[in-house]
């Protein structure tokens, strides 16, 4: 089992290099706080909030996943050069259809050099 890295509030970190390292690898889940059952719902996953990630042949974000609890909802795979071999923030829009009363969303991102990173849990209330 690989080590899973998790986001740490970078405002509490003193060294700029450490802030950069944590932020640019961390996936962030962006969506509304409520959804309607059986209707399409958009969830954006963005890797990096303030800092950009490299897009080099040997150092890039290989995939982004969206999970609801222990259920994998979707995965987007990337190859080196997806961002034009320039630093950037990978963004993926997942369209999902809620079928239960609550979503417990987390995202995972895999960096080819620095491993697996997990987002903070985002809960979404689902109404009928």
2-14 residue pLDDT tens: 788 888 777 777 7
38-50 residue pLDDT tens: 999 999 999 998 8
Contact in structure between 47 and 109 (CB atoms under 8 Å): yes
Contact in structure between 104 and 68 (CB atoms under 8 Å): yes
End-to-end CA distance of the chain: 38
Residue range 101-123: mean pLDDT, rounded: 96
Q: What is the pLDDT of residue 13?
A: 76
The CATH H-level superfamily of 4-127 is SOR catalytic domain (2.60.40.730)
Domain extents in the chain? 4-127
Mean pLDDT of the chain, nearest integer: 92
- pTM, whole model, 2 decimals? 0.90
């Amino acid at each position: 089992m690989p080590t899973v890295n998790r986001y740490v509030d970078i405002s509490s970190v003193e060294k700029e290099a450490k802030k950069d390292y944590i932020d640019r690898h961390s996936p962030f889940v962006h969506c509304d706080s409520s959804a309607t059952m059986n209707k399409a719902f958009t969830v954006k996953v963005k890797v990096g909030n303030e800092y950009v990630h490299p897009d080099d042949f040997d150092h890039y974000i290989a995939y982004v996943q969206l999970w609801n609890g222990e259920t994998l909802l979707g995965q987007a795979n990337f190859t080196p050069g997806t961002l034009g071999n320039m630093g950037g923030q990978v963004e993926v829009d997942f369209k999902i259809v809620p079928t239960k009363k609550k979503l417990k969303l987390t995202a995972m991102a895999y960096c080819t050099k620095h491993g697996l990173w997990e987002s903070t849990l985002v809960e979404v209330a689902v109404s009928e």
